[in-house]
Amino acid sequence: MKSTVPNILPAPPSALRGGLTSLALPTLLSSLGSSITNVSLPTLAQVFGASFQDVQWVVIAYLLAITTLIVGVGRLGDIISRRTLLLAGLSLFMLASLGCAVAPTIWWLIAARVAQGLGGAVMMAITLALVGETISKDKVGRAMGLLGTLSAVGTALGPTLGGVLIAGFGWQSIFLINLPLGGVALFCVYRYLPQTDPQQVTKQGGFDFVGMALLGLTLALFSLAMTLGHGHFGSLNSLLLLGTAVAACAFVWVEKKVASPLVQLALLLQPILSCGLLTNMLVSTVIMTSFVVGPFYLAYGLELAPQQVGLVMSAGPLIAALAGVPSGYLVDRFGAPQMISLGLLGVCLGALALSMMSATQGVLGYILPICLITAGYALFQAANNTAVIKQVGIERRGVASGLLNLARNLGFIIGASAMGGIFALASAASDIRLGSTAGLQLTYLVAAVLAALGLLLALWSQFYRKGQPVIQE
């Protein structure tokens, strides 16, 4: 089936700025939704009289909803107008935020966070897909870099903004802040993003609800297997992984049978796309390592105060925010394949440097490799997202965007569980200072191997990419 030519934003700078703002604000909101609640957990536990295990689900529910639903909503965006779906996702996110703010019980709050996660999944998947549909080809890399910057800003700003809002206006304010921000985003999307004409909507047939349910079940079971037990892998985790395998097999069987599958299995077998997704997951695993390992090494290995730990930990998101737009420019200037390899090389070298770290090198010895890793990650993300979205035809950009976000989230989940387990195992020493240093070295050695594997995949993909057509229906 031939894809139609999408509406490209007109040349005037005001229209381009409006279109970019329409894509950037939902990205910022979905990122804030994930990071702003972490600082509120002690307050929420006290307000609702909830245990630590229960209140953790305020964070987990949001991430789990995004992870399980993002491919499905991306596919839905391939069937109906992406602009309409983005407006619906923003509206749901705002309504769910209001539901969070008025929650009378912890379980009401958790349920509202699930709904908020559905809205966040729509915003994440659809904004990425809309870049290829509404931004001219020569500016796609810069748009991807901007979205990466806003995502990093949301991650970095969330804890600080959350703390200020809770101290000044109460815990409800961390959810109510989404209402004015969401209102501005709604206006920009309605005003600046072009409506897809009926004749431009690709006729894809029905929506694969069974496939979406099975994929959601597969991802939910896998996510729970990786997160339950807090680093200790027991019989429950094994049972959940077994359930994951069964659900995954059922999903593959259904996708082979239905006329209009949620995910075309042939799409996943396409080497360029599959390499992009696998590399994205590997690099995300490496990035999560710094969030899991960093606080323990800084606190116990370098003996920093909590305030100092927080300041050092903010270096990574700050570099990501600063590097996003320049990374996009480099992608547009020199091409995505070359920048993918360069970004992965930076991640690999930074991880290798941390694997040789000692406490005598101090804070600066830790920050410099982290900055190299983060800058490399920003360049990789802008380039990889650009390459995948350009490679896939317009009628499959929604599901491709969902798969990109899914690969990243799975990498984060695996990184938090597996890399945290490696660090805990290697840090088992009588002297916690020596143990945490040994844990850092081994964990980042594994991270360097993962980054090197990603680099090899990217180099192989570059050779394969030459002369390959865009993936169509």
DSSP string, 127-153: HHHHHHHHS-GGGHHHHHHHHHHHHHH
Distance CA 302, CA 309 (A): 10
By percentage, how much of the chain surpasses pLDDT 90?
Answer: 22
CA distance 27 to 24: 5
Q: What share of the chain has pLDDT > 70, as a percent? A: 85
Cα dihedral 159/162/163/166 (nearest 10): -160
Q: How many CB atoms lie within 10 A of CB 238?
A: 11
The most confident of the ranges 69-83, 112-126, 318-332 is: 112-126
The pLDDT confidence band at residue 181, using thresholds 50, 70 and 90, is: very high
3-state secondary structure of 92: helix
Look at residue 433 in the predicted model and tell me its pLDDT. Answer: 54
Same domain membership, residue 350 and residue 364 = yes
- Of 11-20, 64-73, 174-183, the one with minimum mean pLDDT is 11-20
Is 229 a residue whose pLDDT tops 70?
Answer: no
Shared domain for 33 and 99, answered yes or no, is yes
What is the b/e burial string over 145-164, where b = at least 16 CB atoms within 10 angstroms of the residue's CB?
Answer: bbbbbbbbbbbbbbbebbbe
**Structural domain boundaries, residue 438:** 266-466
What's the confidence (pLDDT) of residue 16? 62
* Res. 19: pLDDT tops 50: yes
Instruction: Residue 181: name the closest of 199, 200, 161 by CA.
Output: 161
Of the given ranges (233-247, 265-279, 415-429), which has the lowest mean pLDDT?
415-429
Domain co-membership, 168 together with 278: no
- CA–CA dist 419, 453 (Å, integer): 16
Query: Do residues 134 and 19 touch, judged by C-beta distance below 8 A?
Result: yes
Predicted pLDDT at 9 = 44
Has residue 39 been placed in a domain?
yes
What is the pLDDT at residue 260? 74
Confidence of residue 358 (pLDDT cuts 50, 70, 90): confident
Q: Is residue 199 part of a domain?
A: no
Q: For 127-137, what is the mean pLDDT? A: 73
Q: What is the pLDDT of residue 119?
A: 94
pLDDT the model gives residue 360 = 78
Mean pLDDT along residues 306-311: 72
Write down the pLDDT at residue 199. 39
Is 38 a member of any domain? yes
Q: What are the helix and strand counts (H, E) for the chain?
A: 20, 0
- Angstrom CA distances, 266 to 187, 196, 256, 392, stand at 38, 27, 10, 12
| Residue 469 predicted with pLDDT over 70 | no
* Same domain (yes/no): 257, 276: no
The CATH number covering residue 332 comes to 1.20.1250.20
What average pLDDT does this structure show over 299-311?
Answer: 76
Mean pLDDT over each residue of the chain, to the nearest integer: 80
DSSP state letters, 432-457? HHHHHHHHHHHHHHHHHHHHHHHHHH
Q: Which of 261, 279, 305 is the last residue of a domain?
A: 261
Q: Of the candidates 169, 194, 219, which is a domain's last residue?
A: 194
Residues 441 and 379 in one domain: yes
Q: pTM for the complete prediction?
A: 0.74
Confidence of residue 52 (pLDDT cuts 50, 70, 90): low
Query: Taking 80 as the threshold, does the pLDDT of residue 306 lie above it?
Result: no
CA angle centred on 299, ends 297 and 305, rounded to 5°? 150
In a domain, 202, yes or no: no
pLDDT score at 473: 43
Long-range Cβ pairs for the range 43-47 (8 Å, 24+) = 43/166, 43/171, 44/106, 44/109, 44/171, 47/171
Residue 62 domain flag: yes
pLDDT-based confidence at residue 4 (cuts at 50, 70, 90): very low
Q: For residues 282 and 221, state if they share a domain.
A: no
- pLDDT higher at 466 or 93: 93
Residue 110: band (very low, low, confident or very high) from pLDDT cuts 50, 70, 90: very high
**Whether 249 and 296 share a structural domain:** no
Tokens of 463: 């050779």
Domain membership of residue 276 (yes or no) is yes
Selected residue with higher pLDDT from 185 and 415 = 185
Q: How confident is the model at residue 101 (pLDDT cuts 50, 70, 90)?
A: very high
**Alpha carbons 114 and 97: distance in angstroms, whole number:** 10
Identify the pLDDT of residue 411: 84
- The number of folded domains in the chain is 3
Pair 37, 154 in one domain: yes
* Tens-place pLDDT, residues 440-464: 888 899 999 999 999 999 888 877 6
User: What's the mean pLDDT in 114-126?
Assistant: 90
Q: Are residues 31 and 111 in the same domain?
A: yes
- Taking 60 as the threshold, does the pLDDT of residue 431 lie above it? no
Residue 13: pLDDT band (50, 70, 90) is low
Pair 219, 323 in one domain:
no
Assess if residue 200 is contained within a domain. Answer: no
pLDDT at residue 421 tops 80:
no
In a domain, residue 3? The reply is no
Asked which of 137, 170, 194 is the last residue of a domain, the reply is 194
Q: Which two tokens stand for residue 74?
A: 């991306």
Q: What is the DSSP letter of 80?
A: S
Residues 87 and 218 in one domain: no
Buried b / exposed e along 415-443 (16+ C-beta atoms within 10 A): bbbbbbbbbbebbeeeeeeebbbbbbbbb
Mean pLDDT of 349-374: 89
What value does the mean pLDDT take over residues 284-304?
81
What pLDDT is recorded for position 466?
58
Do 236 and 154 share a domain, yes or no? Answer: no
